[in-house]
Structure 1
Amino acid sequence: MTILEVLLLAVAGAAAGFLNAVAGGGTFLSLPALIYVGVSPVSANATATLTALPGYASSAWGFRHDVQSEGALSLKAIAGIGGIGSVLGALLLTITPGDTFLWVVPWLLLLSTFLFAFGPNILRKIQSGGAGKAGMAVSTASIFAVSIYGGYFNGGLGIMLLAAFGLIGYVNLHCMNGLKSILSAVVSLLSAVTFIASGLIAWEQALVMAASSAIGGYLGASMSRRIIKTNLMRQFVTVIGFTMTLVFLLH
């Protein structure tokens, strides 16, 4: 890699880790950066999932005092269900041809960007609709479905998890953000193990982005309570997401 490519990956990784901790949407930056430096689409998606892991882990550590069980499932049950779903999603990616995935990417980006943009409204409607009554079956199905998606494509995972937590009865936003970081770390870890076994990781690029992602994730978690203009950041990330979607569609 050239020095410029190293700097690009480092900046993209730090920004992605920060955004994942504060608002989500970090994959909108990490995935295009990896593809730009020459990593193939499927490998770039797998590598982006791996490099998001340190950011999720450091963010989870920042929220460690806020996490507690509020719904029908225990925290261990949520982690277990998420782990199984993530492996299934990752296995699905390993058998997806590169050309097929390149065709699917813009539509996944469009879906995740839409959910990211309207996530707060969706979450409020879910919670105002009596989500606390969700039982074991609904809770299990919700976490399982989102985890399969996260194992296949990491983009938009954060807002999907927040929506799922709202559906199954969570109301404390800091708790939800902490649990989102923990489950995202579990999903990314098990998916990454599958990708490593399948030889899909671009290690040279991954090491640069993973280190910067950890720094960004910790800073994002530390600053999350002090960031006032969260809506402005959400709008910024939404613009990035739609821009990347358009770029991939045109490509």
Structure 2
Amino acid sequence: MPEMLMLVLAGVAAGGLNAVGGGGTFVALPALVAAGLTPVTANAATTVALVPGAAVSAWVYRREIHPVGGTSLPALTSMSVLGSALGAGLLLVLPSSSFDAAVPWLLAFATVVLAFGRPLARRLGTLDAAGGMSAKAVLLGQFVLCVYGGYFGGAVGILMLALWSIGLGLDAAAGNPMRVAQLAAVFLTATVLFLAGSDVLDDPVPLLTMLGGAVAGGFAGAQWARRLPAWLVRGIVLSTAAAMTVLYFVKGA
């Protein structure tokens, strides 16, 4: 019972974090490892467990999803699906040890970009009257990020906001609905491959327990985030990114 309660609470927290600003993977993954899953299996199971919560959050935000830059929702989602499929395929065939070493640095990069991306972009003159990055550049960046998202998943939503912040000057609160929708696309695509090619269903109890908590957290988090002021959403996103970066550097030390 204590283990099941831990997984439920971790699912609620992970689903809520993903709805508000990202970082849910870094709550769910350690909980599943603590429940006895191997790191690679826990990584895949985390993605599967967070899919329903991400889908629920996207449904809550459905009327607030607006195009990013010059892209359309179908075009951006197509890049998310293709990138996630490639990343999930890599997870199934490659060892994870080398990527584990890169995770703290990727998170540190995302945190710095979120904190300083817009002022830096203005100073460099990248935010011109046309809106910054071209539609093709946004789509290419989305594809690259979603390869990472399909492979690992941690903070991929934070990295999306970082890309849109520095390239388009998009505020975190304004981009959050689209981030949630793309996160759902990434997780759903990777889940299909993980269910077909990994061992996540060999021990379904931890997975299903966390999944139930993530649905509740995803719905509540999305409802809550819609009522928060933009500065507070941005603060939550930055705090989550900074905390996860520190934790992963400490873990790797």
Fold in common (TM above 0.5): yes
1:89-136 Cα deviation digits (max 9, x unpaired): 000000123xxx14532531x134324533432442466331623223
User: Which residue of 44, 47, 54 maps to 2:45?
Assistant: 47
Paired residue for 2:111? 117
Distance in 1 (alpha carbons) for counterparts of 2:25 and 2:110: 12
| Cα distance change, pair 223–113 in 1 and its aligned pair in 2 (3 A) | same
Q: Percent identity?
A: 31
User: Which residue of 23, 26, 29 maps to 1:28?
Assistant: 26
| Cα distance change, pair 116–59 in 1 and its aligned pair in 2 (3 A) | farther
Paired residues, number: 243
Distance in 2 (alpha carbons) for counterparts of 1:235 and 1:71: 26
Paired residue for 1:91? 89
Distance in 1 (alpha carbons) for counterparts of 2:115 and 2:121: 10
Amino acid at match of 1:86: S
Paired residue for 1:164? 163
More displaced 10-residue stretch of structure 1: 167-176 or 212-221: 167-176
1:126-170 Cα deviation digits (max 9, x unpaired): 663316232233122111101101000110111111122335536
Q: Does 1:193 align with 2:192?
A: yes
Q: Which runs of 4+ in 1 moved over 6 A?
A: none
Distance in 2 (alpha carbons) for counterparts of 1:232 and 1:179: 17
| Cα distance change, pair 81–104 in 1 and its aligned pair in 2 (3 A) | closer
Q: TM-score w.r.t. structure 2 length?
A: 0.86
What pairs with 1:134-145 in structure 2 (closer than 5 Å)? 134-145=133-144
Is the CA contact (8 Å cut-off) linking 1:18 and 1:213 kept in structure 2?
yes
| Cα distance change, pair 119–223 in 1 and its aligned pair in 2 (3 A) | farther
Structure 2 unaligned regions, length at least 5: none
Secondary structure of residue in 2 paired with 1:65: helix
Shift of 1:22: 1.3
Is the CA contact (8 Å cut-off) linking 1:35 and 1:41 kept in structure 2?
yes
Is the CA contact (8 Å cut-off) linking 1:14 and 1:214 kept in structure 2?
yes
Q: TM-score w.r.t. structure 1 length?
A: 0.86
Distance in 1 (alpha carbons) for counterparts of 2:139 and 2:61: 23
User: Which residue of 52, 63, 66 maps to 2:64?
Assistant: 66
| Cα distance change, pair 124–216 in 1 and its aligned pair in 2 (3 A) | same
Q: Does 1:130 align with 2:127?
A: yes
Secondary structure of residue in 2 paired with 1:133: coil
Paired residue for 1:11? 9
Secondary structure of residue in 2 paired with 1:51: helix
Is the CA contact (8 Å cut-off) linking 1:90 and 1:151 kept in structure 2?
yes
| Cα distance change, pair 125–145 in 1 and its aligned pair in 2 (3 A) | farther
Paired residue for 2:212? 211
Distance in 1 (alpha carbons) for counterparts of 2:227 and 2:6: 27
Shift of 1:206: 1.3
What value does the CA root-mean-square deviation take over the aligned residues?
2.4
Shift of 1:178: 0.7
Structure 1 unaligned regions, length at least 5: none
Distance in 1 (alpha carbons) for counterparts of 2:101 and 2:6: 22
Distance in 2 (alpha carbons) for counterparts of 1:70 and 1:32: 33
